[in-house]
Every structure is written in C-alpha cells, then in structure tokens.
Amino acid sequence: MKTKQDLNKIREENLKKLSLLDNNKYRVVVGMASCGLAASADVIYDAIEKAIKENDLKGITLTSVGCIGECALEPIVEVYDKNNNRYTYCMVNEKKAKEIVEKHLIGGEVLNRYLIENFKKVTDEEGNVIEVPNYQYRIALKNCGIINPLEIDQYIGLDGYKALEKVLFEMTSEEVVDVVTKSGLRGRGGGGFPTGLKWKFTAANKGGQSFVICNADEGDPGAFMDRAVLEGDPHAVIEAMIICGYAISATQGYVYIRAEYPLAVERLQYAINKAYEYGILGKGVLGSNFDFDLEIRLGAGAFVCGEETALIASIEGERGMPRNKPPYPASQGLWGRPTVINNVETFANVAQIILKGADWFKAIGTEKAAGTKVFALGGKIKNTGLLEVPMGTTLREVVYDVGGGLPKGKAFKAVQTGGPSGGILTKDDLDTPIDYDNLVNKGSMMGSGGMIVMDQDNCMVDIAKFYLEFTVEESCGKCTPCRDGNLRMLEILNKITDGKATMKDLDDLRELALMIKDTSLCALGQSAPNPVLSTLDKFYDEYLEHVVNKRCPAGVCKNITKLLITDECIGCGKCLRNCPVNAISGDVKKKHYIDLELCVNCGTCKPACPVNAIVSL
C-alpha cells in the first residue's frame, strides 16, 4: 500500500527523469500506440535501442509512449534535451533511426530535414516553458505521447493521482460534485449533457450500491480518440473513475470497452493491476476509509451498445438493446441501482479540473462549452491524426491550420462531424466556432469527435448511403422505425445511385427520414437519418443530378458514371498504370484515352492523375 508520502517521493524522482533534471542528456520517445505499431514503430524502437547499446551511450533514456498525435507521419521519434527543446522526427525508418542516434544523440546535430515543425513554446501555470502542439491545448491528451503508459510511476511523476489525494483527504463528496458542476464540463460522448449535473442526480439517490461506468465502446467510423487515451494514459481514466465513485458514494466501477481494441484493453488491464498493487484501487484507497474496485467488461462490437441503456444491458449479461427512458441511469441504472456513465474523454478531464479548479477550466473554450475537445481528423486531409483544441476553435482552423488542408490541391467540399449520428458541414460553415450548440444549429452535432473531410471527388449521395448502410447493419432491431424505416431509406438511396429513382423517391426519402427521427426508441435510430437530411438540405442539386439527369457529378456512382480524359492530360501514364482493367491507352507525353466499353467506372484513375484531367460525364 502506497501512502501520500510514498507518492510524493515517486513524483519527485520521476519528474526529474521526465524533465531531464538528473544526469540524463537526452530523453528519446517512440510513439507505440496502435497507429505507431501499425507503421512498425516497434522495429524502430529496437533499432534505436540496439544503436544505443552498440555505441555504449550513457545518459540517454529510451521509452515507448502512446499516440503523439500526427498519426499520418508514423513512425514518430521524439528527442528531448536538457534545455527543454523537443525534436519530432517523422516517418522514421531503420536508416533514419541509426542516423538520429549517430548524429543527434552522439554528435549533437539536429537533423532538420526529418523534423516536423508542429510545436510552439508556451509558459504553463507554474511559469515553466514547455512545448505544445501548434493550435492545440491539451488537457485530455495531456500525457499522451509523453509518458510510458505501462509505467505508473511516470504518471505519478506528472501529478498523477494528486487530484485523488486532494479529493480523499481534503474534500467532501458534495464539494467534488460542486467543482465538476461549476467547471461547465459537458459529456464528450455525443449528447453533451452536463457532467456535474449527472453526478449530482446520481449522488442524490443515496442508500445501497451505486456504480460508475466508463463508456469506451467507441464505434463511430473514423473515431479513435478514446482508444488513444486508453493506450497512452490509462491511469487518467482510472483516477477520474475513483474520484467519481467517491463523489457519488459508489464502490464499484466498470470500463465497458470493445474487444476490437486489444492494445487498449491490455494496457488498461495492466494499469488496473498496478493501481491495485499500489493500493490506489481496492480496500482503503491510499490509506483512506474509501473502497473502490474496478473491472473491465468487453463488448462484442455492437455499435448500439454505445447507447447507455444498451451498454447497461450488455454488462448485465443481456442482449445489448436500448431500454425506455425514464427511468434514467442516474436513478435506475446497472442492476437497477444509481449509475453514472461517462465516456473516456470526459473522465480524462476530471483530474485536471480538481487540481486547477473550475474557474481555470471554464476560462477555456466558450461560455456554453467549456474546455477542449479531442478530434480524430481523417479523410481527404494532409495531417490525419489526433488533435485537441479549445471549444470555439473554427472549422477552418482545424482543417487548414492543424490539418494542413487538402492534398493534391483538391477543393474542400464538406466535413462530416459526429459520425453516423452527425451531419455535413460545407465551405459556408468553415468559420463556424466548434461547440455543441453551433454544430446542432448547422444541422450536425459534436458526437464523440470523429471528423471526416471530403473533397470535390466525393459524392454526397454516396456518403449518405455509406453512413446509412452502417446504421442499418448496427440497428438492434427492437423498434420498427429504426429496423424497417432505415432499410427502406437505404433502398431509396440505392435506387438514386443506380439512376433508377424518381422525384417521388426524393420526397419519400425526406418523409421517411423525419418520421424515423421522431419515432425511434433510442439515439441510434433518432440520429440515423441525420446524414441523409443534412445532404438533402445542403447538396440537393447533387441529388437532382442523380435523379433527373441520371448522372453522378463526382463520378463515384458506377452505374451512372462515364469518365473522360480532358485536354489537360500531360501524358504521364499514371492513370494507365493504375487502371485495373487496362481500359486506358496512350503514348508518353501525349493525351490518353479511356475505352468506355472496357471501363468499369472504378474511379481508380481519378486520384492518380496529378493534374485533375479526368472528369465525370
């Protein structure tokens, strides 16, 4: 059992290591979350470790960390020196790794040609000069890419479990709820319900067992924020869940996480085991009179189990299907007892709020949406990856300043926020400050934080169909509007993309969408029509092209698309080499041609053309 004094000693020792205040000359970190490992970051780690040993280098700390954020540039290696400078090397291969060791670590030469300039120096609350990602403000991702998630001492070294100490020994449960309420923290899982209010409602139901649940069932296509936090900083979630348990008088917690996140599950379980070993979980947390136990429950990949009542049913061993509300989980949740359910990102903010106060958190963001939001930026964007920005940051800043804009000079067309439950934002919305209310007013929603960027080559009818296919597949089938209505909508969309629809089908599509939105049982069904309604409102002309002219302007819908190479062709041959059916012919440096009899309209040639010379008829 660790005491407060033990943690303070660990904190002091590890702060020296992390800030190079001891005898170490360099600290080298390798991003080894799922994104890094997929790019062979483990091979790079081994190569650096081998080079350090071969050169018998002293005073160098090598460690693996979670997601650094720039996922498209993996593998990433970062070097910290004693002057607090941070050097981020991207797309590192074994040759680059050896060069980093020989020239930077041994020779002191910074290899500028391998660096990404994505950090700026700022002064933190204690007056320390630190480097943070440009345009970003990290709270939930504070430790991701900084600490080794398997080293509890490193978490403690950066004030880990200090908020828990404060709560257990200096605050009442009512005071904890009050701080979270005053901070303005809203749920980061989609609906944006005030976190403190949820805790307050649950705490009011006294007597008997209460429960704390972390919803880590992140199912939106393109979303990976919660996975990154659990892979890179699992103790932040554990600490917050214990704090929540103390605030609502709950002694048992569960993390509900999808089994498709094996690395996150592995690291979270390791962190839980360590927390028990240190006396941070279990009987008498940190020597107090408060007990708290924590377990993992694995989901089987059902998107509907992200809905809180379906999640509860799944933990109870029942089929994951939504239940009628009210009663709400705050009064009758898991096994009929009062239950708080927050998602990973929501919990990841709690410890910092306790340590720095409600006013600090509320000063970040906007009046109605305090703090920051983590987004998973993907699609047609240069810098795909993870970012955390203050609420109120504009969409333009996210897409162009953080995301680097669109590749190949393509024109921005739209961005889908909120996953299958969200909607489309267009170029007219680029200067919209991102927060809960603004996005809803624009016909979209915050959702968990997935953000998919689309360019001129995307067909918006096809995009609506893609998301609807997902929700049709994931519907639990309990209520008729969602089960049958979404399937009927999908049939109409298939008719449109096949060139077989009429204007009546367009009218039926909108009528169906509004009916399903109003009558479905749970949020999955109620939000499933959002991508359809959003694209109908903002890209109606594109629907008309499909229905009236039997033409897909983007050239995506194969059954109504013909491709043509224009006179802009420079004869480079890239389209020819990428065509899977040899339908393109032409000589080098001369205009190429497409044989429409052979062409299968796969569209592979369009993104291959460097001068955008291939258009849809």
Residue 346: what pLDDT? 97
Residue 134: what pLDDT? 57
| H helix or E strand, kind and range, residue 227 | helix 225-232
Residue 148 dihedral angles phi and psi, to the nearest 5°: -80, 120
- Per DSSP, 572 falls in state -
Q: How far is 466 from 608, CA to CA, in rounded Å? A: 23
Q: How far is 69 from 375, CA to CA, in rounded Å? A: 10
Residue 117: what pLDDT? 64
Specify the pairing of strand 77-81 against strand 26-31: antiparallel
Q: What's the per-residue H, E or C state across 415-455?
A: EEECHHHCEEEEHHHCCCECCHHHHHHCCCCCCCCEEEEEE
Longest dimension (CA), the chain: 82
Residue 22: what pLDDT? 62
What is the side-by-side strand order in the sheet with 423-426?
A: 385-390, 372-379, 450-455, 412-417, 423-426
pLDDT tens for each residue of 139-174: 999 999 999 999 999 999 999 999 999 999 999 999
Residue 11: what pLDDT? 83
Q: How far is 163 from 350, CA to CA, in rounded Å? A: 9
Nearest to 366 by CA among 432, 428, 417, 416: 432
Residue 574: what pLDDT? 94
Residue 394: what pLDDT? 93
pLDDT tens for each residue of 25-50: 899 999 999 999 999 999 999 999 99
Residue 128: what pLDDT? 57
Positions in the chain whose pLDDT score sits under 50: 122, 132
Beta-sheet strands, E only, within 102-187: 119-123, 129-133
